[in-house]
Amino acid sequence: MNTIKVLVVDDHTLVREGIAQLLHSQDDIVIVGEATNGQEAVEKTGQLLPKVVLMDIAMPVMNGIQATRQIKKLFPEVQVVALTMYDFDEYIMEMFSAGALSYILKTAAKQDLISAIRCAAEGQSFLYPPVATKLVSRLSSQKVEQPEGAVASLTPREREILKRIAEGSSTQEIAQALGLSLRTVQTHRANIMKKLGHHNTAELVRYAIGAGLVEAYQGLPGPAS
């Protein structure tokens, strides 16, 4: 089993300690360091080379959006998962634009955070349902028509997987629903990105909406009450 090295970035000591406690029981996840602001996160990423950075947004010195942008520029192989208390549309869009793979709220269940980390380690996004709803709603309002040739280049299986990605399904959920292996779904996803020329989940969702594969979010549960 490959160990996933994680850097935790948050300016609150209690939050960092809580995350460490949550992840301590996971055999495949190890916290290799902590940072208290964005600038320190960039520096420690260079020193420790974690596989995944758990990134808060509102921090002193340098915020999480700026830090994510710097990390992805300097260390493109390192994946960033936003972990924050803010569910503002602007923050969500900016973090994805900066290069984050997933955006998780601090009110999320433990398993959601673990799934996001494991997905990020594989270069995959985990669409946390409340955030996915906001993401698709925002992108729907920016809907643009997509070239017909691009969608025509996708196989029926690739179209189905793209649709499920845009609907918020994780790689594991897609594999289970379609009776495929995780590796097969990951290969299809990589082929879809290559054919469409897109490089992150937000771009894939925007494409799926423009191509008419997804109209609106109707099947996802909302935030827990």
Dist. CA 116–CA 225, nearest whole Å: 21
Return the beta strands (E) in 10-126 as ranges.
29-35, 52-55, 79-84, 102-105
Element (H, E) at 91: helix 89-98
Paired strand residues for 52: 6, 79
21-44 residue pLDDT tens: 999 889 999 999 999 999 999 999
Domain 4-126 adopts which CATH fold?
Answer: Rossmann fold (3.40.50)
Task: Tell me how many degrees the CA angle 136-141-145 measures, rounded to the nearest 5.
Answer: 95
| Domain positions in the chain | 4-126, 145-210
Dist. CA 12–CA 167, nearest whole Å: 33
- HSE (CB half, 13 Å, CA atoms) of 203? 15
Interhelix angle for 201-210 vs 156-166, to 10°? Answer: 110
Beta carbons of 18 and 8 less than 8 angstroms apart: no
152-199 residue pLDDT tens: 788 889 888 888 877 767 778 888 899 999 889 888 888 888 888 776
Q: Look at residues 157, 152, 156, 146 and name the one whose alpha carbon lies nearest to residue 198.
A: 146
Dist. CA 171–CA 175, nearest whole Å: 6
Q: What is the mean pLDDT of the chain?
A: 82
**pLDDT at residue 217, rounded to an integer:** 35
φ and ψ of 9, to 5 deg: -120, 115
Six token digits for residue 138: 């925002």
- The pTM (predicted TM-score) of the whole model is 0.67
- As its CATH architecture, domain 145-210 has Orthogonal Bundle (1.10)
Six token digits for residue 34: 């902590």
